[in-house]
């Protein structure tokens, strides 16, 4: 169930600790600190390292060679890069479901639709539970096991709950999920239940559920795994390592991600900074985060020039995975955009579903929130903020089957009738129907 120690001998000198992200504070804490916020100033914490790394060429060779290994940690797209997240003590195990190792696919038709850019998609929907959350959860549940936690908890729009439930049960832990009432897709709810989680339906949206979860007293012993937990971001930052390795370490012009709680862009920004510091890359791509119009507090903050985020009280979008009005990681996301001279865009639900349809023409399916990336690329290209011919990687965060109902709701009866035919069980009528189908496909 648990893989062996993920570290190798060349990384024994690296040390890890927690540190406040506020530059005027930067207070340090041990890795087993019970709080996910700085007790001095209340800000978020980072997992920080004093790295002792091999030279870049040797690291790249080691990571590539591990692909041929049959060990559980080397089959993981997170722990294969364990030199970059050396917080697991020597001799301890990691909790893994062979996450990561997701494809990077060119989507030429989608790129043309988006304004004549070269787009490749990193499809995180190919992870074990169908979303990018698995990358963060393997790291987070590993840390939960290291500190002896027995009950994990999260608030979720669906993907986090499914992922936490799977990794918790694999580690022998109980999972408790807080979800907004009636605001989670049946597919995501079914996942959490099947993995044995207890689901508490409470509040009208994610932000309410998350607030109520955080109000619970610490003596209940719940280990919180939302992206407030910095270990989540440690796993998620390996997205960018896989992207760069798959591109033979050629840095793209842009990496585009959807933005809900803003953990993904925060993690990728942290990963890029560490890679540059280690000499593994010389330049940085520009990070782009795309939010939905009905849940875009980060975009509104940047567009207005405000110094603080102003939460959206009642977030609304059909892209449920990013239906978050008060993103906890906004300061880390801002740090990532400042580091990379990044951009932020906001798109409508109609634009999201147009982008989803455009991806389908390349044979790529995804949940609605993922398609926000392509919708954002198109909007930014039309505005001249992304140049034609740019080299762009779009991260798709969730599988097509995470929310199948939304796509059907968006199809008109006339449109569906062209693809869903009811034919009597009669050979002549079936042949006539098939001849009509074949004629239409040729014309």
Q: What is the DSSP string of 267-328?
A: HHHHHHHHHHHTTS-SS-PEEEEEEETTB-HHHHHHHHT-SS----SS---S-GGG--SS-T
Per-residue pLDDT, 420: 80
Q: Distance between CA atoms of 171 and 1, rounded to whole angstroms?
A: 7
Do residues 346 and 290 make contact, with C-beta atoms less than 8 angstroms apart? yes
Tokens of 40: 């001095």
- Tokens encoding 192: 């959490």
Block means of pLDDT (10 residues each) for the chain, 443 residues, are 47 85 97 93 97 95 96 96 95 95 97 98 97 97 96 91 96 94 85 93 89 87 93 98 98 98 97 97 98 98 97 94 95 98 98 97 96 98 98 96 75 71 89 85 58
- DSSP secondary structure string for all residues of 350-384: HHHHHHHHHHHTTT----HHHHHHHHHHHHHHHTT
Find tokens 């782009």 and name the residue.
Answer: 288
Q: Around Cβ 436, how many Cβ atoms within 10 Å?
A: 11
What are the DSSP calls for 176-217, one per residue? Answer: EEEE-TT-S-HHHHHHHHHTT-EEEE-SSSHHHHHHHHHTS-
- Nearest residue to 246 via CA among 119, 67, 103: 103
CATH 3.40.50.1100 domain extents, the chain:
104-127+232-408
As a whole number of angstroms, the distance between CA 234 and CA 241 comes to: 12
Q: What is the pTM of this model?
A: 0.92
Check residue 3 and give its pLDDT.
Answer: 54
CATH ID of 104-127+232-408, from 3.20.20.70, 3.90.45.10, 3.40.50.1100, 3.30.830.10: 3.40.50.1100
The angle subtended at Cα 371 by Cα 369 and Cα 373, nearest 5°, is 95
Residues 215-221: contacts with CB under 8 Å, at least 24 apart: 218/34, 220/151, 221/149, 221/150, 221/151
Q: How far apart are CA 246 and CA 242, in angstroms?
A: 6
pLDDT given at position 90: 84
């Amino acid at each position: 169930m648990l893989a062996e120690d993920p570290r190798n001998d060349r990384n024994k000198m690296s040390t890890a600790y927690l540190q406040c992200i506020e530059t005027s504070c930067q207070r340090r804490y041990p890795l087993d600190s019970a709080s996910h916020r700085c007790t001095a100033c209340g800000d978020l914490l980072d997992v920080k390292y004093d790295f002792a790394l091999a030279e870049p060429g040797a690291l790249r060779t080691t990571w590539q060679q591990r692909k041929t290994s049959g060990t559980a940690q080397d089959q993981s797209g997170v722990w294969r890069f364990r030199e970059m997240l050396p917080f697991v003590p020597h001799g301890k195990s990691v909790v893994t479901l062979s996450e990561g190792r997701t494809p990077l696919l060119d989507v030429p038709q989608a790129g043309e639709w988006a304004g004549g850019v070269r787009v490749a998609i990193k499809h995180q929907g190919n992870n074990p539970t169908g979303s990018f959350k698995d990358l963060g959860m393997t790291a987070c549940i590993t840390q939960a096991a290291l500190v002896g936690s027995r009950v994990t908890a999260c608030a979720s729009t669906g993907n986090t709950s499914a992922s936490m439930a799977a990794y918790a049960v694999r580690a022998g832990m109980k999972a408790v999920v807080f979800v907004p009432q009636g605001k989670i897709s049946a597919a995501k709810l079914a996942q959490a239940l099947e993995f044995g989680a207890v689901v508490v339906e409470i509040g009208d949206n994610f932000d309410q559920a998350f607030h109520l979860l955080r109000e619970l007293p610490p003596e209940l012993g719940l280990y919180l795994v939302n992206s407030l937990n910095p270990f989540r971001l440690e796993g998620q930052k390996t997205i960018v390592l896989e992207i760069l390795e798959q591109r033979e370490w050629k840095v793209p012009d842009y990496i585009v991600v959807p933005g809900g709680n803003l953990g993904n862009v925060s993690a990728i920004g942290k990963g890029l900074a560490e890679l540059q510091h280690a000499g593994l890359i010389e330049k940085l791509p520009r990070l782009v985060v795309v939010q939905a119009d009905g849940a875009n507090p980060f975009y509104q903050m940047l567009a207005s020039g405000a110094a603080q985020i102003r939460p959206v009280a009642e977030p609304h979008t059909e892209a449920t995975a990013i239906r978050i009005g008060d993103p906890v990681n906004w300061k880390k996301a801002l740090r990532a955009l400042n580091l990379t001279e990044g951009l932020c865009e906001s798109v409508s639900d109609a634009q999201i579903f147009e982008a989803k349809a455009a991806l389908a023409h390349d044979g790529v399916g995804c949940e609605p929130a993922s398609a926000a990336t392509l919708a954002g690329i198109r909007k930014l290209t039309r505005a001249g903020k992304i140049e034609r011919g740019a080299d762009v990687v779009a991260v798709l965060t969730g599988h097509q089957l995470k929310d199948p109902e939304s796509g059907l709701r968006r199809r008109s009866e006339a449109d569906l009738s062209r693809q869903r035919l009811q034919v009597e069980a009669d050979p002549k009528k079936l042949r006539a129907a098939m001849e009509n189908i074949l004629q239409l496909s040729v014309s």
